[in-house]
Amino acid sequence: MKEKINWHCHPLTLETKITESYKTTQNVRRFFNSQMGREIKLGREFMLWLHSNKGITLEDALKELRSRFT
């Protein structure tokens, strides 16, 4: 995934793909919190998981995040 996304301000959707330039920013945290319907801590393990799964969508990441909170 060579696409450059500014993770600080890019509008995020469920179809947004994790790219080489991925960073866990406040924008990303806000996206996941809004999708979860509450404020959550992403946690170091989940953030490492995101960095090692380039090419997946934020929808895929959300499914993984939800599985960690159930």
42-55 tens-digit pLDDT: 999 999 999 999 99
Average pLDDT, the chain: 94
Task: Specify the pTM.
Answer: 0.90
Residues 6+ apart with CB under 8 A from 37: none
Percent of the chain with pLDDT over 90: 91
**pLDDT of residue 27 exceeding 60:** yes
- C-beta separation of 48 from 20 below 8 A: no
Q: Which of 59, 19, 21, 67 lies closest to 43 in space, CA to CA?
A: 67
